[in-house]
Amino acid sequence: MYPVRVLSGMRPTGAMHIGHLHGALINWVRLQTEYPCFFFVADYHALTTAYEDPDIIGKSVWEMLVDWLAAGLDPNQSTIFIQSRVPEHAELSLLLGMSTPLGWLERVPTYKEQLERLSQKDLLTYGFLGYPVMQAADILVYRASMVPVGEDQVPHIEMTREIARRFNHLFGREPGFEQRAREAMRRLGSKRAKLYEELRTRYQEQGDDTALEQGRALLSSAQSLSLGDRERLFGFLEGSRKLILVEPHARLTKSPRLPGLDGQKMSKSYNNAIAMREDPAEVTRKIRTMQTDPARVRRNDPGNPELCPVWQLHQVYTDEATHAWVQHGCRTAAIGCLDCKQPVIDALLREQGPIRERAQQYLDDPTLLRNIVADGCDKARKAAQETMRDVREAMGLQYT
């Protein structure tokens, strides 16, 4: 089996806010210590909706990257790059398009929804319909097995799995596959080969899933196999195909939804966000004027934290003891809203200090950032090219 690889991306939206930080980036920073990670800026995806004003993309890309590094993404641990600088994304997207049924794309739940929501733009384009194919290419070109994303992206990951499965089914036959698989089997050693054969039969004739699991475990632990033979035997176990593309899994980020200043979802376009590197005086001002439980008109009116977005921030930013203090103080009007907000302000400023500091070196020296990203693009490209060699061969494009 191919090794575990994590991949995720974001469309360039410029400077990140604390919703991005707690919703995604902190999780990415943790993952990079556990797995090989690839994180990229999806600038092609930005063009699917912003094709009429492409000038904003460049600035947003670099601002966003500064914030990724400021959040703690480490170029020594993660491969950080830009989608359009690895043209293999575009190539695989085109090739996957050959075998992706139109109906699959029209049925993506977000498709019609977005068409309606963004009805001021003309999104009846080939590119916008193909958004999920492009996303599938992003993931499959690295044979990524784990994709950390939010709930809203799950349909896209599901579609990626279907696209990969269909691709392997259509193009995963190589001439003499069965014979090559049998040769690879012999290289397992006779005892293992016999067990493999039994498990394969049990899975294929009786659909026995534990046999499939055991077969996979057997292959994973077989040291004597080359990568190609191993893949062949994985494919042979399940059917008679070679697995060229890897079906990824969504890894849902268990993260709190941060409310915006008005209690709606935090978003730059709603103008209710706190930036990751907000000016400290602005942090204070924004929180002090933030929406609270509307029932607390006067200082003496008791309130209910469940109806207050500030309470949601407490859950992310303050400790148990403070939570108890808020619950009691709010419901009995023992504390005022400004008292209640102060620990949140303090925690935000504490969080943002080191972030601002880390960002500063990239703002002072933009070539530092450019070099990190150029390096990441090179590394990503090497990995993508390995997959593309197999894809081109499977699709009959390696002719002479």
Shortest CB 66 distance to ligand SF4, Å: 32
Q: Which stretch binds ligand TRP (CB under 6 A): 131-139, 267-275, 335-343, 370-378?
A: 131-139
Stretch that binds ligand TRP, among 132-140, 195-203, 305-313, 363-371 (CB under 6 A): 132-140
Q: Quick one: what does residue 43 bind among ligand TRP, ligand SF4, none, with the CB cut-off 5 to 8 Å set by partner type?
A: none
User: Of these, 12, 19, 303, 376, which contacts ligand SF4 (CB under 6 A)?
Assistant: 303
The site partner of 292 among ligand SF4, ligand TRP, none (C-beta below 5 to 8 Å per kind) is: ligand SF4
Q: Does 138 bind ligand TRP (CB under 6 A)?
A: yes
The least CB distance from residue 18 to ligand SF4, in Å, is: 17
Q: Does 235 bind ligand SF4 (CB under 6 A)?
A: no
End-to-end CA gap in the chain:
30
The stretch among 71-79, 263-271, 329-337, 361-369 that binds ligand SF4 (CB under 6 A) is 329-337
Rounded CA-CA distance 238/223 in Å is 21
Among 5, 6, 11, 381, binds ligand TRP (CB under 6 A): 11
Q: How far is the CB of 398 from ligand TRP (least distance, A)?
A: 27
**β-strands 146-149, 78-82 pairing:** unpaired
- Residue type (1 letter), 155: P
Q: How far is CA 16 from CA 85, 89, 267, 273, 321, in A?
A: 22, 25, 10, 9, 30
Asked if 250 is part of the footprint of ligand SF4 (rule: CB under 6 A), the reply reads no
Residue closer to ligand SF4, measured from CB, 17 or 296: 296
Ranges of H-type helices in the chain: 18-20, 26-31, 43-50, 55-71, 88-99, 102-106, 109-117, 126-129, 131-140, 154-171, 177-186, 190-206, 209-221, 227-238, 280-288, 309-317, 320-331, 337-364, 366-394
Is residue 237 a contact point for ligand TRP (CB under 6 A)? no
Widest CA span of the chain, in angstroms? 83
Least distance from ligand TRP to the Cβ atom of residue 142, Å: 10
In a 13 Å sphere around the CA of 174, the CA atoms on its Cβ side amount to 21
Report how far apart, in Å, the C-alpha atoms of 310 and of each of 150, 261, 263, 303 are.
23, 8, 8, 12
Check binding of 313 to ligand SF4 (CB under 6 A).
Answer: no
CB of residue 298 to ligand SF4, shortest distance in Å: 12
Site map (CB under 6 A) of ligand SF4, residues 75-94, x = contact = --------------------
* Both structure tokens of 88: 């293999």
Which single residue is written with the structure tokens 């009116």?
301
Q: What is the spatial distance between Cα 72 and Cα 59, in angstroms, rounded to a whole number?
A: 21
Burial pattern 314-343, b for ≥16 Cβ within 10 A else e, equals bebbbeeebeebbeebbeeeebebeebbeb
Size of the site for ligand TRP (CB under 6 A): 13
Q: Is 343 in the site for ligand SF4 (CB under 6 A)?
A: no
Look up residue 314 and give its two tokens: 């407490």
Q: Does 292 engage in binding with ligand SF4 (CB under 6 A)?
A: yes
> Residue 193: how many CB atoms within 10 A of its CB?
18
Q: Determine which residue in the list 82, 147, 184, 266 makes contact with ligand TRP, applying CB under 6 A.
A: 147
Q: Which of 31, 46, 82, 139 binds ligand TRP (CB under 6 A)?
A: 139
Question: Which tokens in the block code for residue 37?
Answer: 């990670």
Q: Which does 153 bind (CB under 5 to 8 A by kind): ligand TRP, ligand SF4, none?
A: ligand TRP
Among ligand TRP, ligand SF4, none, what binds residue 330 when CB lies within 5 to 8 Å by partner kind? ligand SF4
- Report yes or no: 335 and 310 within 8 Å, Cβ to Cβ: no
C-beta of 369: minimal distance to ligand SF4 in Å? Answer: 38
Task: Select from ligand SF4, ligand TRP, none the partner in contact with residue 369, using the beta carbon and a kind-dependent cut-off of 5 to 8 Å.
Answer: none
Residues that bind ligand SF4 (CB under 6 A): 292-293, 296, 303, 305, 308, 310-311, 326, 330, 335, 337, 340-341
Applying CB under 6 A, which residues contact ligand TRP? 7-11, 42, 45, 135, 138-139, 147, 149, 153
